[in-house]
Amino acid sequence: MGDEPIIVADTAHGPARIFAAGLATGTALLAIAVFCAVNGYGGLALMVLIAAAIGLGLVYRSMPASVPRLPSFHRTSPNPDRDAFRTGAAALIDAARRRRKVPTLLRLDIDRVRAISGPQGREAHDLALRHVAALLDDELPRSALVARLEGDRFAAVMAFAPGDAARVERIVDRLAVRLVQPIRRDGMEVQASVTFGLARDTGQESLDTLLRQADMALTASAQGTGGQPWFTPEIERALGDRAAFVAALRAGIERGEIVPHFDPQVDLGNGRLVGFEVLARWHHPERGILPTREFLGIAEETGLICDLSLAVMRQAFAAARDWDPSLKLAINLSATQFQDAWLAQKIIKILTETGFPAHRVEVEITERALLADLPLAQSIVASLKNQGIGLALDDFGTGYSSLAHLRALPFDRIKIDRTYVQAMGADAERAAIVQAIVQLGDSLNLPTTAEGVTDADLAERLRVLGCVQAQGALYGEPMALPDIRRLLAERHLLSRAVVTPGPGLTSPRLAG
């Protein structure tokens, strides 16, 4: 790993801040201790002397004189600061440039800690922090300067020969391989998920610039850009565009630009319209109508999905109050929303304020919503079911497709993913999977809905198999509210009854 020593500093530790202020030698430490003693700070003087003895006698190893020495700590603290790391890193960068080396900054984030067995919470988290610090100590060059800066974020500064970026990449690869392994210690087993970001000096960047660039590379890596997590100008431009898109989406939600479109759902037995799946569309002021796929991912990553979903839900419920009582609305809820313990109460509040009957609502969730916190998901679903709201398992056939998940919650329906439905004619294996899902639904007394039905032959084949409902291009594309109202009027499915809205609505019905 190299001949020079690694200096690992946890900047949360108090003495590290003193050492980092320029006390690079034992003489300087002694001077501070004498100053404290002369001025009546005997206790502090003793602490500095003890720290100096320990630091110089046990922790310090040989190192270029131009790099400030920091004590080696692997402790965790809730309130670290950057002072110690900044002092040492700036000096290391200057020294590397003088030796015609390329300073490189590595950022590492612990994204998530999952306790597989043993204690949960802080103990598992601290174990993960100690493990990451130990691996950095083991894998990074001995000349590197490493610190835990804030929370779950680590940083390291290293110097390499020009053109030796592959060495840095090999280090990151080794760290990545070792960090995906479960951590077992003291009766605990913990799994940590980490992300890396790298930035190299071109001879002009300040430490702040390198930190910012490594942060951007880390962000891009977390978004799944693939490849080695080096900063590039393209990453900066992409993140700038993304930030502008997020700001526009947030403003669009507030201005009511995200509106519901309605995808018809039909009974395969008699061809009768039974309801609609509510889908979000963004009426963008410059780009026109954007489909869900263009903004849903970003909405989930940024947490905007919660406000977006509730806004679309409110519009859909208000619009459908005067529709025929036989028509139901299917609402998609994301896995991110199921991390909100108040989700059920928010939905019930919207139902109350819009006057829309709960028994005409069916929420659709994917299996991913069950993975993060199953007890919380069960609590949310129980509250919704108590109001009469139905529950459908969406996109069944993809992901885990576990029977255990079907039994974990009181589902009322299974929805078969469109990728299987549309491949039935050309792929015998996928056709067999669709048949198996329908039979599974029958055995559990759960009706099935097929997504992505494009032609009458496919609809007939699904009907013969026993599938109960279908939706897709055969029955029309998702429609805006004015088009839906015209369709319902033609079929005499608009109710004459006027429902008095609850608080928050100013008109008895929302016309298209």
Taking only the tens of pLDDT, the chain with its 512 residues reads: 333 323 334 333 333 333 333 334 444 555 555 555 555 555 555 555 555 554 444 333 333 333 333 333 333 333 345 677 888 888 889 999 999 999 999 999 988 776 655 555 677 778 888 888 889 988 998 889 888 887 788 999 999 988 888 889 999 999 999 988 888 887 778 888 889 999 999 888 889 999 999 999 998 888 765 556 899 889 889 889 999 999 999 999 999 999 999 999 999 999 999 999 999 999 999 999 999 999 999 999 899 999 999 999 999 999 999 999 999 999 999 999 999 999 999 999 999 999 999 999 999 998 888 777 889 999 999 999 999 999 999 988 666 556 777 888 999 999 999 999 999 988 999 999 999 999 999 999 999 999 999 999 999 999 999 999 999 999 999 999 999 999 999 999 998 644 444 443 333 333 33
Provide the pLDDT for residue 118.
Answer: 56
- Gap between the Cα atoms of 426 and 477, Å rounded: 24
Q: Would you state the structure tokens that stand for residue 297, as one six-digit string?
A: 């991912």
What angle, 0 to 180 degrees and rounded to 10, lies between the N-to-C axes of helices 42-54 and 26-38? Answer: 170
Which pLDDT score, from 0 to 100, does residue 499 have? 45
Provide the whole-model pTM: 0.68
Given a contact cutoff of 8 angstroms between Cβ atoms, the answer to whether 491 and 344 are in contact is no
Position 20 scores a pLDDT of 35
pLDDT of 126 reads: 83
Q: What confidence score (pLDDT) does residue 83 get?
A: 75
Distance CA 323, CA 498 (A): 10
- Three-point CA angle 370, 354, 471, nearest 5°: 55
The span from the CA of 471 to the CA of 485, in Å, is: 18
Q: Calculate the alpha carbon distances from 383 to 358, 390, 427 in Å.
A: 12, 11, 41
Q: Is 442 exposed, middle or buried (0-12, 13-18, 19+ CB in 10 A)?
A: middle
Cβ-contact 256, 243 below 8 angstroms: no
State the chain's maximal CA–CA distance in angstroms.
96
What is the predicted pLDDT for the residue at 27?
45
Residue 225's pLDDT is 55
CB 171 within 8 A of CB 140: yes
Q: Tell me the angle at which helices 165-179 and 122-139 cross, rounded to the nearest 10 degrees.
A: 150
DSSP 8-state symbol, 58: I
Active site residue 367: no
What is the predicted pLDDT for the residue at 43?
A: 58
Q: Which of 451, 460, 477, 490 is catalytic?
A: 451
pLDDT for residue 471? 97
Can you give the pLDDT at residue 41? 53
